[in-house]
Amino acid sequence: MKALQLKYGCNPNQAAARVYMKDGSELPFEVMNGRPGYINLLDAFNSYQLVKELKEATGLPAAASFKHVSPAGAAVATDMSDTLKKIYWVDDLKLSPLATAYACARGADRMSSYGDFVALSDVCDTETATLLKREVSDGVIAPGYTDEALAILKTKKKGKYCVLKMNASYVPQPIESKEVYGVTFEQGRNNAVITTDLFQKRPTKNKTIPEAAQRDLLIALITLKYTQSNSVCYVKDGMTIGVGAGQQSRVHCTRLAGNKADVWWLRQNPKVLALPFRDDVRRPNRDNAIDVYISDDSEDVLADGVWQDIFTEKPAELTKAEKKAWVAKLHGVALGSDAFFPFGDNIERAHRSGVDYVAQAGGSIRDDNVIETADKYNIAMAMTGLRLFHH
């Protein structure tokens, strides 16, 4: 297939939408089921690049959950604790390594992952398709599907679930272009290869970055390579736990992503794990209720006439003091930034969410202040010299 006609572009008023190859060659993907939209394909191709690079960098199956051309989450296959299985709602499923990667990618920020487009680095297996079938998702892209997995996915969304098969051997042209307001932009593709070699320059007093933390920093930087800038990413145990995308101020990226990391950690609090949900409350509604329960607006789900629709009994409040004490227990988080930190306030905020390792481009006129702030908290920081803006 050399061109694919789409229903419309970003919005219904933008007609005459299609995708095609400028050189007239075949499209590097196949539609196995459903009908992809313009935004679906933007998410699909950005996310597939991300998981492909994660697999190449770590050797592990990888998955990403994309929404509006930025990742809600990304992860590689690692051992998942029973607590994570519970808060990701997968404790009743058999999980393959690839399914585990997707459960972690989606579970990192389940609010943002609702209605996602999924990317898988490996052939989609039955376990991953089974997990996908029961989540609210718009589509998936992978290098292939087992017969059973494809059959399962074809039953989703009344047979309309979008399933794309990517040509794993496809190599894009070295020069890419796009149009904005009728003006054509052209640039070389960002073919920067992200490896642990980027972590050699460590200007902080603490220069120790363990192997697992280096893997997490790789995940952070590769994720940022496909996140709308400015962007910051928190990673722990092989999965993103907070992605801050598209903010004009870097400290706002750091705060946004840090708040998501805090929520991820607070979901593991015993009070949250023990919330007495009614059996008829669906997973997305549980996610929404948990998010409100954790927030400063918790009275919105604890008020009389409200909690009865969600819980079998009124839960005890999770107080501000309890939340602060619980978040203080979070440690070992890796933080990546797609460009330099201009001020030490980013490190101050990152420290509050358990960050012990940082990778950032460096090159600010205030690098000394950033390094000094990292030293204040014994944070090990690498300056990569590589900027990863993505627009």
DSSP, residue by residue, 63-99: EEEEETTEEEEEEE-----HHHHHHTT-TTS---HHH
3-class DSSP state of 330: coil
Half-sphere exposure (Cβ direction) of 277: Cα atoms closer than 13 Å: 17
Tokens 């928190």 locate to 234
Could you tell me the CA-to-CA distances from 53 to 72, 105, 178, 224, 380 in Å, in that order? 17, 15, 23, 12, 25
Any alpha helices (H) in the chain, and if so which ranges?
A: 38-58, 82-87, 97-107, 110-113, 126-134, 147-153, 211-225, 250-266, 270-273, 283-294, 299-302, 320-327, 345-352, 367-376
Q: Are 70 and 191 in contact (CB under 8 A)?
A: no
Q: Which amino acid is at 157?
A: K
Q: Are 153 and 161 in contact (CB under 8 A)?
A: yes
Q: Which amino acid is at 203?
A: P
CA-nearest of 170, 128, 169 to 145 is: 128
Q: Are 64 and 74 in contact (CB under 8 A)?
A: yes
The CATH number assigned to the domain with range 176-266+327-383 reads 3.40.140.20
Cα–Cα distance for residue pair 303/311, rounded to 1 Å:
11
Q: Say what percent of the chain tops pLDDT 90.
A: 96
pLDDT digits over 43-86, tens only? 999 999 999 999 999 999 999 999 999 999 999 999 999 999 99
CA-nearest of 164, 233, 229, 242 to 190 is: 229
What pLDDT score was predicted for residue 99? 98
Other C-beta atoms within 10 Å of 168: how many?
14
What pLDDT score was predicted for residue 76? 98
Cα–Cα distance for residue pair 6/117, rounded to 1 Å:
17
The C-alpha angle 253, 257, 261, rounded to 5 degrees, equals: 165
Cα–Cα distance for residue pair 166/161, rounded to 1 Å:
16
Cα–Cα distance for residue pair 137/59, rounded to 1 Å:
26
Rg of the chain on CA atoms, in Å: 21
Cα–Cα distance for residue pair 371/353, rounded to 1 Å:
18
Residues 6+ away with beta carbon under 8 Å from 276: 311, 312, 313, 315
Q: Which residue positions in the chain have pLDDT lower than 70?
A: none
As annotated, the active-site residues are 67-68, 230, 391
Q: Which fold has domain 3-171?
A: Cytidine Deaminase; domain 2 (3.40.140)
CATH 3.40.140.20 region(s) of the chain? 3-171, 176-266+327-383
Half-sphere exposure (Cβ direction) of 305: Cα atoms closer than 13 Å: 0
CA-nearest of 192, 113, 124, 208 to 163 is: 124
Cα–Cα distance for residue pair 357/331, rounded to 1 Å:
10
What pLDDT score was predicted for residue 266? 97
What pLDDT score was predicted for residue 1? 84
Cα–Cα distance for residue pair 327/209, rounded to 1 Å:
22
What pLDDT score was predicted for residue 277? 97
